[in-house]
């Protein structure tokens, strides 16, 4: 199926690894000009802009580079998120994060995306429209005592996404969110990452946490963590003109993590 992405200009944040890298590669393979915003360069055929999205000025620089290189922006994928730099998740319990933790979590998972949208929308409007996909989380709609600050930031992102879709949909800018469940990225697999933290709590090996403990703990119907490529494939479909009537939607790609109707 031709997704009609050839020649379109896509900005992807957090594109150096995990979901972001899979998205950047997939859009490039579909013929898009990809501008990757991340602190380190991705292993992909893209235009890299080295930025720290905790810097409030970074989004303007990223969009300006896309305009300079390719003349505009058609697609924005706000993927950067998760633990802020230097932070290890999970954190268990409402009292675990302090004020600084909450502020850093919202800065990385909400404000960076808000600033990217603010920078990109005027450029998209000048080209007659565009498509924005914000990577959220199943935790936004399934609250719990684990990572409460992260879930709250992603819930706020869902609200912003819906609001922006309502305001700019009539002008041709579509906005959707994807809510992954646990995805097999270095958030889980790196030394000291989530798998190691849960292994210490559960008295299990890291490998067993990834293969059995985590899918069981999160009641994943598929029995496994999500592959980053599965998120990237959904992104590619949502940003495609073939999804032209899909806006304001939240798509769960989560292995059955969310249980409500």
pLDDT (tens digit, 9 = 90+) per residue, 125-174?
999 999 999 999 999 999 989 899 999 999 999 999 999 999 999 999 99
Q: How far is CA 248 from CA 140, 219, 230, in A?
A: 15, 27, 20
* pLDDT tens sequence across 75-119: 999 999 999 988 888 899 999 999 999 999 999 999 999 999 999
| For residues 39-59, average pLDDT | 96
Q: Rg of the chain over CA atoms, in angstroms?
A: 18
Token digits of residue 238: 């949502």
pTM given for the model = 0.95
* pLDDT tens sequence across 210-255: 999 989 999 999 999 999 999 999 999 999 999 999 999 999 999 9
CA gap 145, 152 in Å, rounded: 11
Looking at 106, 111, 150, 188, which residue is catalytic? 150
CA gap 157, 143 in Å, rounded: 15
Catalytic site includes residue 150: yes
The neighbour count for residue 85, using CB atoms within 10 Å, is 10
CA gap 222, 33 in Å, rounded: 34
* pLDDT tens sequence across 26-42: 999 999 999 999 999 99
For the chain, the domains span 9-181+227-252, 184-225
Give the homologous superfamily in CATH for domain 9-181+227-252. NAD(P)-binding Rossmann-like Domain (3.40.50.720)
């Amino acid at each position: 199926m031709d997704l009609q992405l050839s020649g379109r200009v896509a900005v992807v944040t957090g594109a150096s690894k995990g979901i972001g890298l899979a998205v950047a590669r997939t859009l490039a393979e579909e013929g898009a000009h990809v501008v990757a915003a991340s602190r380190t360069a991705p292993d992909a055929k893209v235009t890299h802009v080295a930025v720290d999205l905790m810097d409030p000025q970074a989004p303007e620089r990223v969009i300006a580079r896309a305009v300079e290189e390719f003349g505009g922006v058609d697609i924005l994928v706000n993927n950067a998120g998760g633990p802020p730099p230097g932070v290890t998740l999970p954190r268990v319990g409402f009292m675990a994060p302090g004020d600084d933790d909450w502020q850093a979590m919202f800065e990385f998972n909400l404000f960076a995306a808000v600033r990217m949208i603010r920078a990109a929308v005027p450029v998209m409007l000048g080209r007659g429209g565009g498509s924005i996909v914000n990577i959220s989380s199943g935790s936004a709609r399934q609250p719990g005592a684990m990572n409460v600050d992260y879930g709250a930031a992603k819930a706020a992102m869902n609200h912003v996404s819906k609001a922006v879709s309502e305001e700019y949909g009539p002008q041709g800018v579509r906005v959707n969110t994807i809510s992954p469940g646990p995805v097999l990225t270095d958030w889980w697999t790196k030394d000291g990452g989530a798998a190691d933290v849960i292994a210490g709590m559960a008295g299990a090996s890291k490998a067993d946490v990834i293969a059995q403990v985590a899918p069981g703990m999160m009641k994943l119907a598929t029995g496994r963590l999500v592959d980053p490529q599965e998120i990237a494939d959904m992104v590619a479909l949502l940003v495609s003109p073939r999804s032209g009537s899909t806006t304001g939607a939240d798509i769960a790609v989560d292995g059955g993590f969310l249980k409500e109707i």
